[in-house]
Structure 1
Amino acid sequence: MNWDYLAEDQSQHYFAAWLQLLMKKSPALPLKLAKHHRREDVDATEVSKFSNGAYNICCTVTFEDGFRVIVRFPILGRSRFRTEKSRNEVLMMLYLYDNTNVPVPRVLGAGNWDLICSLSLDPTISGSDIEHAFRGMAHVLLELSKPVFPYIGAITEESWMWKVGGRALSLNMNELVSELAERYLLHLEYQRNDAVDDEPDCRKRYIARCLFRKITRQIPLEESGPFHLYCDDLRPPNVLVSDSEPNITINSVIDWDYTYTAPVEFTQAAPWWLLFESPEDWESDLNEFLLRYMPRLEFFLNILRSCEDEQIKMHTMEEDHRLSNKMAESMENGNSWFCLAARKGFMFDDIYWAFLDQRYFGEGSLEDRISLLSQEELEELERLVPLKMQQAKENTLEEHLSYDEM
């Protein structure tokens, strides 16, 4: 679905006001935080310029003995549930540090960073560079698949025991709450601006969401577990490496904000980052995208199978815990696209009509699809269309939280 640009503009205003306040308190604030969390009798002497990503802004603080830490701030206006998000990320890093071989920064209050660069690769690379990158990512995915949990949700620690004790704060949840929506149908209703182009577009989007809900009630999802760790935002740019010949060495994996024990189908879905592009950079015709993606997927799966063979030979994983076969199967049965549609709200409509609609409902026109809706859904459709047209004319936002409340 299209972005609500009025809401985005408001978020930018919140961000600008918050950033101005942060700048007034810097560099004293980062120095103070770094010194406090290190808790050693060494002075923090230097603060780098701030750099910001999608949801966090951070700087590097250097101590007089050369020790460096990152101080990170979740951005107001972009990162919702900021306290919960940060708490979940810290707990996840502590868990991974103690229970897996995934290289993560040591948590002080934020973490230490003595690394060189991130695995941000040109989408056109090939040969040994991409093979080394894929091999590193394969090992990370295999490590995340090893811990098992009986429930879906966020990891917490109680009485020195790790357990699933919170909701799964996923990346998609973070985006949808901007429109006060928990599900796609609510998102369609409550995003006031830029949600639809016109009446036919509104009807098509509504029908897609009703039928997607119908699919979720029909497909056999794994409900009993065990469940594994999944990071919504795991991708090569979040992997810090030492670029030393002849190999790329992974030093640390960062940005664990949206990591939780997830539905089995999520962990078994083919990775979306294989072309080193964000989904918003894919071709508008997803069938054209597949022409580039499928050869890259096969290349990655071969490397993943090789890594699995190595670990099975070393007795660090079992034969029936392979991911490669499940990922290949997820593309064949459509589960990868189902999971991506469930997680990536802004791509939902393209994915649904390109890969899910005919798979589950066969050939047919939009009128044929309307006949699949219940009477209640049909009545809601007739209520929703004029509502969205009226909202488009008004071009306003509904205020729910003040700046101070945020």
Structure 2
Amino acid sequence: MTADFWPSAVKLSGSLSQRCVSSPLPPNPCEMDFDDLAKQQSDRIFQVWLQNLLGNSPEDLAGKLASRHYPGSTPATASRLSNGAFNVCYRVTFENGRRVVVRFVALGRVVARNEKVEDEVAIMQYVGQHTTIPVPIVLGSGKCAVGPYIVMSYIEGNPLSGYLRDSSQITVTLNLGISIPILRRAYFGMAEVLLELSKAGFPFIGAIRRTESDEWTVQKRPLTFNMNRLTQFSNIPLKVFERGRFNNAADYFEELARQQFYHLEFQCNNAITDEADCRKKYIARCLFRKLAREIPKEHCSGPFRLYCDDFRPDNVLVDASSLNITGVVDWEFSYAAPVEYTLAAPWWLLLESPEDWEPNLDQFLTRYMPKFRVFLEVLKHCETRKIQGGSLSESQRLSIAMEKSLETGLFWICLALRHSSMFDEIYWDFIDSRFYGPFTTTEDRLSLLSAEERLNIDAVVESKMRQASEGTLISHYSIDELVDL
């Protein structure tokens, strides 16, 4: 598709304070699932990489790498830890009893592996030096026979989610019968981390780096959870994403709106069900792009706050007896982000990833809102304690903005920006009628598009229908190229 295939949009007149007006949805709104062929390709690449790792005696390899970055110590044992989504980890115990973790970034689970490691090392070093959040100490990083790796200190503790989840469910989900005192204790620890992250301020949006003069700055674009998912499961080439940092939130939100177009443009399979579905998805992206230009008015120029796309109770380690936090791990996809992300209600209160929520998001809200009220109460208490102790100012409270974020729609807009697979459902359920009035017909919404956007819709539909009928997958990288990314 040519560059002008996805045209620019005209400016929106409207505001985030408009309330949602009840209206019928377009018929059969359909979310865009990921590409089945891309998923299969990702799984095959991961399995080949995993066999290569296992063929390299990973316990011995982990021990050698640990010794390289912990000189003077002799490895005694190495054992595999439970896997996350993006890494394979080994705990190495030295003869003196000290323990470290060696993390190998999995090919097939991450496309930009070297960039991911560089970003994660930098963010852990910054958080460890400039906040009170307990994080692993980075002992070293580099490349080995199976790709990039990190060696870091081992932190004792169990995932907080293990004390909160419903053990009868396969999917990690909150035990709705959990006692309020335990839930409050868990939420209090999470609130403390959020408040600590919100204190840092940066002049640009993107990944942070330490300069040779030992100063911290933003030097390039953020590598986000959604970008990784789009390259992995929608077969979007990494090169289409902006590489530079963003000077303001308006430019960054527009880039995120473009990423929704990339999702529709580049994903060949499982993207649409029919012509009507394709038209709705194209229209939704055009109208959302208008909104994206209006979101960041108050905080457009920053300072921008640290945000971790994957921060959740599963990555928070706690002491079993007190649920006090012993460490926060897995800092991939963390960056200086728009302030709006920090001010939106947290998505993880029910433990589930957004992709695991009910197809009917109103049902999700029925479960979410009671826990959100508990969290707000805890957050306000945490804020008050910190203000009284002098470690937080009144202006740094998050609870007031978080409480409003569901009413104003900010919660849903930020979620749609960060989770492309949920974009269409969120847009039609919680965004469209709030900003464009009651829905009548698809043709009515089409009239809100620019002349250029309306002119291109037939070409978009024709192209997507052709892709759907062909059922092919375009390989953007050779295996050698993927290994080097």
TM-score range for the pair, normalised by the shorter chain length: over 0.9
- From 385, 389, 403, the equivalent of 1:314 is 389
CA contact (8 A) 2:203 2:301 kept: yes
Structure 1 residue 336: Cα displacement: 1.1
Task: Tell me which residue corresponds to 1:243.
Answer: 320
Q: 1:59 aligns with which of 82, 90, 93?
A: 90
Q: Is the 8 Å Cα contact of residues 59 and 90 (structure 2) preserved in structure 1?
A: no
Match of residue 179 from structure 1: 236
Q: How does 1:4-403 map to 2 (within 5 A)?
A: 4-25=35-56, 26-39=58-71, 41-49=72-80, 51-109=82-140, 110-120=151-161, 121-122=164-165, 123-124=174-175, 125-158=178-211, 159-177=213-231, 178-180=235-237, 182=241, 183-221=259-297, 222-244=299-321, 247-364=322-439, 365-403=441-479
Count, aligned residues: 403
Could you tell me how far apart the structure 1 residues matched to 2:84 and 2:35 are? Answer: 20
Q: Name which structure has the greater RCO, CA cutoff 8 Å, separation 6+.
A: 2
Relative distance call for 1:220 and 1:36 in structure 2 (3 A) is: closer
Secondary structure (helix, strand or coil) at the match of 1:54 reads coil
Partner of 2:80: helix, strand, or coil? coil
Q: Distance in 2 between matches of 1:211 and 1:74?
A: 37
Q: Deviation of residue 72 (structure 1)?
A: 0.6
Q: What's the offset of the Cα at 1:227? A: 1.0
The residue type paired with residue 116 of structure 1 is G
TM-fit CA distance, 1:345: 0.7
Deviation at 1:226, TM superposition (A): 1.1
SS of 2:346's partner is coil
| Aligned AA (2:87) | N
Q: Which amino acid aligns with 1:61?
A: V
Deviation at 1:50, TM superposition (A): 5.0
Could you list the runs of 5+ residues in structure 1 that have no partner in the other structure? none
The residue identity in structure 1 corresponding to 2:60 is A
How far apart are residue 217 of structure 1 and its match? Answer: 2.1
- Indicate the percent of aligned positions where both proteins have the same amino acid: 50
Tell me, in whole angstroms, the C-alpha distance in 1 between the residues paired with 2:358 and 2:48: 36
Helix, strand or coil at the partner of 1:78? coil
What is the identity, as a one-letter code, of the residue corresponding to 1:93? M
The 8 Å contact of residues 202 and 302 in structure 2, kept in 1 or not, is answered as yes
Q: Deviations over 1:349-372 (max 9, x none)?
A: 111111100000000222211111
Aligned-residue CA RMSD (Å): 1.3
Distance 1:316 1:174 in 2: 35
Q: State whether residues 160 and 323 of structure 2, in contact with CA within 8 Å, keep that contact through their aligned partners in structure 1.
A: no
CA displacement, residues 223-275 of structure 1 (integer Å, 9 cap, x when unaligned):
1111110000100000011111xx21100000111111101111111000011
Consecutive unaligned residues of structure 2, counting only runs of 5 or more, are 1-31, 141-150, 166-173, 242-258
Instruction: Give the whole-Å Cα distance in 1 for the aligned partners of 2:320 and 2:266.
Output: 46
Q: What is the TM-score of this pair, normalised by structure 2?
A: 0.81
Does the 8 Å CA contact 2:202/2:305 hold for their aligned counterparts?
A: yes
What per-residue deviation string (whole Å, max 9, x for no partner) do you get for residues 206-235 of structure 1?
111111111112334321111110000100
**Matching residue of 1:3:** 34
Q: Distance in 2 between matches of 1:375 and 1:114?
A: 57
What per-residue deviation string (whole Å, max 9, x for no partner) do you get for residues 150-196 of structure 1?
11111100111111122111111222233236411121011011111
In the alignment, residue 111 of structure 1 is paired with which amino acid?
M
Listed one character per residue, the Cα deviations across residues 273-302 of structure 1 (whole Å, up to 9, x for unaligned) are 011111122111111211111121111011
CA distance in 1, matches of 2:455, 2:423: 23
Label 1:396 to 1:307 Cα distance change in 2 as closer, same or farther (>3 A): same
User: How many angstroms does 1:379 deviate by?
Assistant: 2.4
- Say which is worse superposed, 229-238 or 76-85, in terms of deviation: 76-85
